[in-house]
Structure 1
Amino acid sequence: MSDLAKTVIIEAHGGSEVLKLVERPVGDPQAGEVKIRHKAVGLNFIDVYQRSGLYPMALPHALGMEAAGIVEAVGAGVTHLKEGDRVAYAAQPPGAYTEARVMPAAQVCPLPDAISFEEGAAMMLKGLTAHYLFRRTTEIKRGDRVLFHAAAGGVGLIACQWARSEGIELIGTAGSDAKCALALAHGATHCINYSTEDFTAQTREITGGTGVDVVMDSIGAATFEGSLDCLRPLGMMISFGNASGPVPPVSLATLAGKGSLKITRPTLFTHIADHDTCQTMARELFDKVTAGDVTIRIDQRFALEEISKAHDALEARATTGSTILTLD
């Protein structure tokens, strides 16, 4: 087998036109590393942020944050994986848009046989994100109310199901009636079409004027102010993405005036930085899937050679569920 792998890199930040498919040597794993032959690769908004320069990187650099495949070799000191293991990951550094790679082993997780490679590639970043949103950021109890933006997206459909499985009332937002129907079918209690309705007013109406306990917002600039107005006093705003652009600076006095609100800006990679924590989170996510509480919906598939088209679809909000890159 050739030690060259087709890999998507960028040599400059910009639009989807900067994505470039090249062949690069894979190499052998050193201490603490693993070599993986990918079977499928996940697509996420963080990839767009890195490509555009919103999250700057030293260039040139490969892109992609999650994938699934088979371990081909392990370096010294790696004890939780062996050659031939089925694995999946969402991890730093970027470089998942490739046929094969060598990478740090700590955040690479054994993939149960009951979960396909495509599901594994589609679920790791999004599913682990849902995990920290519901279990590791603030206490969310059965009966609590959560407002979740982009509820028909990759993280959103997992979040809808997660909430349903734990008795949490999830109010979703989405950009069309069809997307709202999808979110409702996956467990959202309500879904607001933000293209035709004022999501803040609708959320207040649904909650009888009380507001929600938690807002989970990956949209950013376009929804931030309205999201704060959806919270009950002492509520928690979790801003975990910037799909519409970064959130402008906010005065702490604003949080006081709107009811002593709390706000946090977490990232997945802080939560999974510790090896044992990452592996535990992954096992709990896999348990949700194998138990049937969460089904991973893959609505778009692109070949690695179609990476620019895949990014364009994601940025145009023309996708639902998860999107993967397929490999021969």
Structure 2
Amino acid sequence: MALTAIIEEHGGPEKFKLTDIEVGAPGKGEVRIAHKAVGLNFIDVYQRSGLYPMTLPHAMGMEAAGVIEAVGEGVTHLKVGDRAAYAANPPGAYTEARVMPAAQVCPLPEGISFEEGAAMMLKGLTVQYLFHRTTPIEKGDTVLFHAAAGGVGLIACQWARSEGITLIGTAGSDEKCQLALDHGAAHCINYRGGDWVRKVRDLTEGKGVKVVMDAVGKDTFDGSLDSLAPLGMMISFGNASGPVPPFNLAVLGQKGSLKLTRPTLFTHIAQHEDCQAMAKHLFDKVLAKDVTIQIGQRFALRDVAKAHEALEGRQTTGSTVLEI
């Protein structure tokens, strides 16, 4: 049996229910993994609230690290006893152990802790596709990254610095801005301090940035478009402030023939080979000390509701993990 956090209806953090679930043997293409640590992400909030509806009841969580306990038929990249980490569908990571598809479960190198593995997979793989699989970004380019002191943001700041990319961050306090700067942002704007779009323009000598990476959504969408240089790319990859309202595509032409995309990580990692290659790139960055994983908060699995309250209330910095 494995203690597991589930929801039976969509709503607030109070909807979590802790229950013991029997963990069976893995079938073809599956593994059973005993978790050591579990990562939290904003997609978990979207699924719990119903913004991303799920068939209920359902276990929650998309990211974890642990030890492989059993391997099903056809799985060749993992064996019993291997350290492993993943970001993957279907949800179900908020548990002590689970059976799941093996394709997106990745061998976790020695030198990376279980907590780091749990805290980095979804966020780090997101940064990998943002910088390498979405639109060409080269050394010397300038990008704008919202929520730069969050779990994805702190990885992005370091990733950009490691590749000679100028990252302008935004955050909600001077303290969070300093954290982003300490992790490699070239500049960070406290968006509560006034016209952040004008400040982006000032930092780019009026030109605007080549790429905006925006997981905030509704509150920053218009300003993000206004921060782009002509022919720039807007990557909208989250909705922390709520979904972007219906949008007139003609505005993209009016603002300088801009490009707009709404990617998801799970499209990028759907193929086993792609997922494993992206994970290796991420692991190499961490092992080379180009990227360190900032774990700002730790909660017990039983306190998952408190963890969601902190995440949703923007009271967190870096990554948040559940300790198993």
Cα distance in 1, alignment partners of residues 146 and 295 from structure 2 = 19
Cα distance in 2, alignment partners of residues 197 and 270 from structure 1 = 36
Matches for 1:222-261 after TM superposition, within 5 Å: 222-261=219-258
Q: Secondary structure at the match of 2:48?
A: helix
Aligned residues: percent identity? Answer: 74
Q: Secondary structure at the match of 1:195?
A: helix
Cα distance in 2, alignment partners of residues 198 and 281 from structure 1 = 36
Cα distance in 2, alignment partners of residues 280 and 199 from structure 1 = 36
Q: How far off is 1:291 after superposition?
A: 0.2
1:53 is matched with 50
**What is the aligned-residue RMSD (CA, Å)?**
0.4
1:186 is matched with 183
1:42 is matched with 39
1:82 is matched with 79
Cα distance in 1, alignment partners of residues 182 and 56 from structure 2 = 42
Gap runs ≥5 in structure 1: none
Question: Deviations along 1:144-198, whole A, 9 cap, x unmatched?
Answer: 0000000000000000000000000000000000000000000000000001122
1:195 is matched with 192
1:91 is matched with 88
Residue 270, structure 1, aligned to residue 261, structure 2 = no
1:109 is matched with 106
1:167 is matched with 164
One-letter amino acid of the counterpart of residue 82, structure 1 = K
One-letter amino acid of the counterpart of residue 242, structure 2 = G
1:154 is matched with 151
Equivalent residues, number: 324
Q: Secondary structure at the match of 2:100?
A: strand
1:64 to 61, 75, 82: 61
One-letter amino acid of the counterpart of residue 79, structure 1 = T
TM-score of the superposed pair, with normalisation by structure 2: 1.00
Give structure 1 regions of 4+ aligned residues with deviation exceeding 6 angstroms: none
One-letter amino acid of the counterpart of residue 219, structure 2 = A
Cα distance in 1, alignment partners of residues 87 and 240 from structure 2 = 19
Gap runs ≥5 in structure 2: none
Q: Secondary structure at the match of 2:126?
A: helix
Cα distance in 1, alignment partners of residues 95 and 194 from structure 2 = 41
TM-score of the superposed pair, with normalisation by structure 1: 0.98
2:97 to 95, 100, 105: 100
Question: Deviations along 1:108-163, whole A, 9 cap, x unmatched?
Answer: 00000110000000000000000000000000000100000000000000000000
Q: Secondary structure at the match of 1:8?
A: strand
Cα distance in 2, alignment partners of residues 47 and 202 from structure 1 = 32
